[in-house]
Amino acid sequence: RKEVEQDPGPFNVPEGATVAFNCTYSNSASQSFFWYRQDCRKEPKLLMSVYSSGNEDGRFTAQLNRASQYISLLIRDSKLSDSATYLCVVNMNYGGSQGNLIFGKGTKLSVKP
Amino acid sequence: DGGITQSPKYLFRKEGQNVTLSCEQNLNHDAMYWYRQDPGQGLRLIYYSQIVNDFQKGDIAEGYSVSREKKESFPLTVTSAQKNPTAFYLCASSIGGEVYGYTFGSGTRLTVV
């Protein structure tokens, strides 16, 4: 099983749509979870951290399900500017030592007018 | 403004040459990282350093070398031993630990000619 898995997409949605991405991770001991956004030929930028209780930032909502080891990102009222690749990021914590962050390959979102 | 700076933005290398990619940060972060990204692929960890004068190999360290003589700087050398060096190279830093995520530089696009 890959450490962090995402549906590569692309997800093609009209403006104003609601779209959801899922991500699964393999290490049940992982403690830190993030969603990053990467525009074409640019560096990844932190979109939001994912907390156990779920968290919201404007049109973006992140959820964590530890039992099933998956993370989700919901985008409401999609904008053209939301078009990007969304990376699921998880720390791999083995044996109590802090591991590095592992990046999924990303899910590509294209929002159309 | 605090940030992480990579240079050059584009770099062309001839077969058999070593090249060094620069990464400088003024965020006072302890940890620094080098990733490689190939088209349509996720980020792969090359080397990382949690503290000055110490660094560890990542998943794909062969053909690369690093140094960490100063907290602010973490240069990456792509040696002639790296058989397929054409890629997008990303440097990142973090305050230490993976709780806060990583901040990325804008990347260096290396092409072998």
Instruction: Print the SS3 string covering A34-102.
Output: EEEEECCCCCEEEEEECCCCCEEECCEEEEEECCCCEEEEEECCCCHHHCEEEEEEEECCECCECCCEE
A69 vs B113 pLDDT, higher one: A69
pLDDT above 70 coverage of chain B, percent: 97
Q: Which pLDDT does position A29 carry in this prediction?
A: 84
Q: How far apart are CA A38 and CA A72, in angstroms?
A: 17
Q: How far apart are CA B1 and CA B21, in angstroms?
A: 22
The contact set of B with A (CB < 8 A) is: 33, 35, 40-43, 45, 48, 58, 88, 90, 97-107, 109
Q: Which residues of B touch A100 (CB under 8 A)?
A: 33, 45, 48, 58, 98
B83 vs A98 pLDDT, higher one: B83
* pLDDT tens digits, A26-82: 988 888 899 999 999 999 999 999 988 889 999 999 999 999 999 999 999 999 999
Question: Do the Cβ atoms of B104 and A41 come within 8 Å?
Answer: no
Q: Answer whether A90 touches B (CB < 8 Å).
A: no
Asked if B106 contacts A43 with a C-beta cutoff of 8 angstroms, the reply is yes
Asked if A36 contacts A98 with a C-beta cutoff of 8 angstroms, the reply is no
Average predicted confidence (pLDDT) for chain B: 92
Nearest to A88 by CA among A4, A19, A2: A4
Nearest to A43 among B98, B100, B107 (CB): B107
* pLDDT tens digits, B4-59: 999 999 999 898 899 999 999 999 999 999 999 998 788 999 999 999 999 999 99
Choice among A2-11, A12-21, B58-67, B68-77 with the minimum mean pLDDT: A2-11
Nearest to B105 among A43, A49, A100 (CB): A43
A108 vs A98 pLDDT, higher one: A108
Q: Which pLDDT does position A59 carry in this prediction?
A: 98
Q: Which residues of B touch A91 (CB under 8 A)?
A: 98
> Is the per-residue pLDDT at B1 higher than 90?
no
Q: Which pLDDT does position B68 carry in this prediction?
A: 97
